[in-house]
Amino acid sequence: MKNNLCTLRCLLFLLLCLSIATVRAESLSLMPAPQSVQLKQGHWILPDEVTVWHSGLSADHQRSVRDILASLQRTVILTHASGAKADIYLHVDAPAKPGEVPHLNSIESYRLAVEKQGIVISAAQSWGALHALQTLRQWVSLHGSQLQRGSIDDAPRFAWRGLLLDSVRHFLPVETLKRQLRGMASAKLNVFHWHLTDDQGWRLPIDGYPRLHQFASDGQYYTHQQITDVVSYAASLGIRVMPEVDLPGHASALAVAYPALMSAPGPYNMERNWGVFEPLLDPTNPDALTVVNAVLKQLAALFPDRYVHIGGDEVNPAQWDNNPRIQAYMRSHGLADSHALHAHFNRYLQQALAKHQRHMMGWDEILHPDLRKDVVVQSWRGVDSLHDIVKAGHPAILSSGFYIDQPQFSDYHYRNDPVPDGTSPAEITSSPSTDWQRLRGQMPRLKGTPVVITIWYSEQAQQAIVQLDQRHPKPARHVEFTNGKTVIQLDSWMGPLTAVIATPRQSQIWVGNTPYPLTILQPFDALAKEDVPMIHTSARGTEGSKILGAEATLWSELVTSDIIDQRIWPRLYGIAERLWSPASLQDPVAMYQRLWRMNSFAADVVGLQHHQQWQKGVARWAGHPSAVEDALLMTELLEPAHYYTRHHLHYRQGRYHQQAVLDGLVDILAVESAPMLQLERQIRQFTLAPSSAEQLHIQQTLQNYQSALKRLQQRFSAEPKLALVDRLQRYVEQGLALLHQCGSDNVHYTLHQTPSLPDNEIVMAIARPVAQLVKWCDNRR
């Protein structure tokens, strides 16, 4: 009898194990992927009329619950009556207080369980409950209302997951900001970093100093009521709002309003150009400090968040250096140079903010031995800077590698982990290879000094180490030697780099999708292994615990409210996943598969306007209603040039300023063409294992583009647009020829392209899949 009971228990346990399966966190296609997913047998159907029983939600959060579920085309009934029957039971341990806002280290974890009788959501605080509802909304949108039973246990990896929006260079209306906040909430981002002052404008009124918004904003500023409204709206979505007022540099607008506060006499005019300018606040002037105190007091009154960002970046010391009174002040206070004066001023700002119970935050230029250790420092200059920040004992935020105003591929951002896996901060390569060689080259830029590149390469070990300028050397991400060319890939502060080293005339550097020439200064020469540099990696271990998280940044030189969604979505979901989900998620193919699904979700459910902005811009470019459908297909073959190539071209062309019109075709192109990335993957798979079915599929794709381009050629036969269409058609036709005639003498195998500085803002994305076919044919010759 005892043996029978034991057997029965074992069978029951086995059945239980079979009915509950822990699956990969990304298996539901949710983004960001949850920490843990367990699915069971059986389903529950979410009805069209949803009753939600809740405990612990404020009135604002109740409205958010309604909005989230209403976006699923559901009628929502909220109740907190005792014993009420509901479809969703939502319980928060610590009830939110009226007007409560999130803060750093708010508890955002949650549990979402789909049971036989409905959904149960539990969270320690309401912020986690809001995340759970965002997860539910994605789940239903992507998989339908029949939900598989199971549970999701989830919590963020980093406490600080932000997006910076620049309302200065191009003003962003409140409704535009709220729409991005809704998108942020759907991606579980929790910090809106609001950049409010800069050289081109001052966007908030300060009590007692009306000239700031009257004379330095062009009439475009946020009233106190609008700011309060944005802060309240963000809090209802679980998002903090942190203001940034840039001090002491980026002060041209401040100089227009109050020139006597500057370090050099005025008058000053509104700055319309983009760049770094000389106007610099005089930190030795008592009147300037009085205004600064008024500004900080106003920020504390309007923004309940504990952190205030004081900028502190790109300080041009010329006005300080040329002012005798400031120089005398520095000597009397023992300040050796402008960096010391800047640190002296930052200590004043920190103390002034402390009086308002606020913590100071600034860009990485504020780092100084005298800076208080509780000041948060934000790195925009790279992982070297991040390492210096945490080594100095400061809480750190990473933004380098998350600059989304730079068009870049999403997988580059996805690899950019604030605390990547790795070994110690300094470690020599462990390869036993003795065939190390070194090459020095130079990459020119359209604006600024050339970038000097040093490469240490071992063909035997298939390893490379790369140094850009004087930054710390980094190990290459990928190395190969093929067809007489050495190809080295590296993630850098400029973006993903691919160095293709061949003959001195044919070597080049790709930054994202954009080629630059690589001038060989010193060809590969042999060297001893002991001359191979130490590899410097990012913060590790206990230092890594100082890293609070990261922020994506969208500076708005080339961004307006008409195209902002197109610049942010859907790729911000990939960055959000890097900051929320397990670090072990590294598969770029799986990331892209989910990202393209989020593309439709963001537009159709969240209400983001990236699709609308794209379609509207293409219709404007096409000019003829009958050409719009073909023109939309044509834009799939194109991308904007990556890195800051577009900014630099605008600078060279005299269009790098606030009045430049941003309504061209390039302004509405997707940062990365999903169809071209998919076509590249299909061709790569085909070339590894050719099949007639795959070949037919690729052929049909190219023929669809060919037909659309032929119709556009007829439509634009007498217009300048024809040149672009003709160029695309040549690529498509070459792709078809390569697909069918590979090995024949009648087809040209090489995409003839002599490396030169880019001269166009638009990149032929179709060239990449065609290049895959060229490589395949070259290998078969």
What tokens appear for 491 in the block?
């993630």
Q: How many CB atoms lie within 10 A of CB 324?
A: 7
Tell me the pairing of strands 307-309 and 75-79.
Answer: unpaired
250, 309, 394, 413: which is the annotated catalytic residue?
Answer: 250
User: Rounded to an integer, what distance in angstroms lies between the CA atom of residue 248 and that of residue 317?
Assistant: 10
229 labelled catalytic: no
3-state secondary structure of 663: coil
Q: How far apart are the first and last CA of the chain?
A: 76
Is the CB of residue 517 less than 8 Å from the CB of residue 443? yes
Is the CB of residue 589 less than 8 Å from the CB of residue 165? no
User: Rounded to an integer, what distance in angstroms lies between the CA atom of residue 196 and that of residue 213?
Assistant: 11
User: Which among 525, 539, 532 is positioned nearest to 430, based on CA atoms?
Assistant: 532
CA–CA–CA angle 82, 88, 94 (5° rounding)? 65
359 labelled catalytic: no
Q: How many angstroms from the chain centroid is the CA of residue 502?
A: 33
User: Which among 383, 400, 415 is positioned nearest to 585, based on CA atoms?
Assistant: 415
- Non-local (6+) Cβ contacts of 329 within 8 A are 284, 335
Q: List beta partners, residue 78.
A: 52
68 to each of 49, 110, 483, 524, 565, how far by Cα in Å? Answer: 14, 17, 54, 59, 20
User: Rounded to an integer, what distance in angstroms lies between the CA atom of residue 511 and that of residue 403?
Assistant: 14
153, 313, 314, 562: which is the annotated catalytic residue?
Answer: 314
543 labelled catalytic: no
Is the CB of residue 770 less than 8 Å from the CB of residue 751? yes
Positive or negative: CA dihedral 51, 54, 59, 65: negative
* Amino acid making up residue 102: P
User: Rounded to an integer, what distance in angstroms lies between the CA atom of residue 556 and that of residue 403?
Assistant: 11
User: Rounded to an integer, what distance in angstroms lies between the CA atom of residue 20 and that of residue 3?
Assistant: 26
What tokens appear for 357 in the block?
């119970």
Q: 222 — phi, psi (to 5°)?
A: -100, 130
Residue in the structure block whose two tokens are 């591929």: 409
Residue in the structure block whose two tokens are 């190395």: 479
225 to each of 146, 182, 231, how far by Cα in Å? Answer: 43, 20, 10
DSSP conformation letters of 599-646: HHHIIIII---HHHHHHHHHHHHH-SGGGHHHHHHHHTTEEE--TTHH
Point out the residues that are catalytic: 198, 250, 314
